[in-house]
């Protein structure tokens, strides 16, 4: 199996936040708007998610996954603002959904830079960084075993 086939197979099972929202949160309205750089706006009362439309596709995908994570975690805003802890929790859940460990391990074997790895995983750099920083020790162990095996057989 060549690298191209591995990537295609991984993409077929990749988390799709748009499809997830349509399936599990059909009562929410999702729109792309010019938010002047704000990644996303979530109106819990009206059940509306607005996604910044000037960001690239991978970033929009990440921002929608982040918004869905807020909904799933039943976050409530205080004075219209979510706490830093809630933001981190949404980031972590979104990053785990967007980047399966098997995809990360496969892509990390051949990607030559952090940016290339993010591109292959169809996420922005920030989400990749969050996923990497918060890998569970067992996930980190798996990732390094895959990389070690690759280096030893190269
Ligand atoms: Zn948020």
Rounded to 5 degrees, φ, ψ at 111 are -65, 140
Q: Who wins on pLDDT, 154 or 45?
A: 45
* Burial bucket for residue 18 (CB in 10 Å: 0-12, 13-18, 19+): middle
Q: What is the pLDDT of residue 9?
A: 54
pLDDT at 80: 77
Mean pLDDT for all residues in the chain: 91
Strand partners, 29: 48
pLDDT at 5 over 80: no
Give the Å distance between the CA of 67 and the centre of ligand 1: 6
Contact yes or no for 119/11 (Cβ under 8 A)? no
Residue 11 φ/ψ, nearest 5 degrees: -60, -35
Number of domains in the chain: 1
- Measure 147 CA to ligand 1 centroid, in angstroms: 33
pLDDT at 97: 98
Tokens of 132: 């990497």
- Residue 6 CA to ligand 1 center (angstroms) comes to 32
- Structural domain harbouring 64: 3-153
Model pLDDT, residue 149: 85
Q: Which residues of 45-70 are buried (b: 16+ CB within 10 A; e: fewer)?
A: eeeebbbbeebeebbbbbbbbbbbbb
Low-confidence winner among 16-25, 57-66, 76-85, 93-102 (lowest mean pLDDT): 76-85
pLDDT band at 7 (very low <50, low <70, confident <90, very high): low
């Amino acid at each position: 199996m060549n690298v191209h086939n591995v990537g295609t197979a991984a993409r077929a099972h990749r988390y799709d936040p748009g499809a997830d929202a349509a399936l599990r949160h059909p009562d929410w309205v999702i729109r792309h708007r010019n938010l002047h750089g704000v990644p996303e706006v979530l109106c819990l009362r009206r059940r509306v998610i607005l996604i910044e439309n000037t960001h690239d596709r991978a970033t929009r995908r990440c921002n929608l996954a982040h918004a869905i994570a807020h909904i799933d975690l039943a976050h409530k805003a205080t004075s219209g603002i979510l706490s830093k802890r809630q933001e981190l929790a949404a980031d972590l859940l979104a990053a785990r959904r967007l980047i399966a460990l098997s995809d990360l391990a496969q892509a990390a074997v051949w990607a030559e830079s952090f940016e290339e790895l993010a591109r292959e995983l169809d996420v922005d750099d920030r989400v990749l960084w969050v996923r990497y920083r918060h890998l569970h020790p067992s996930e980190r162990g798996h990732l390094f075993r895959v990389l070690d095996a690759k280096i030893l057989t190269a």
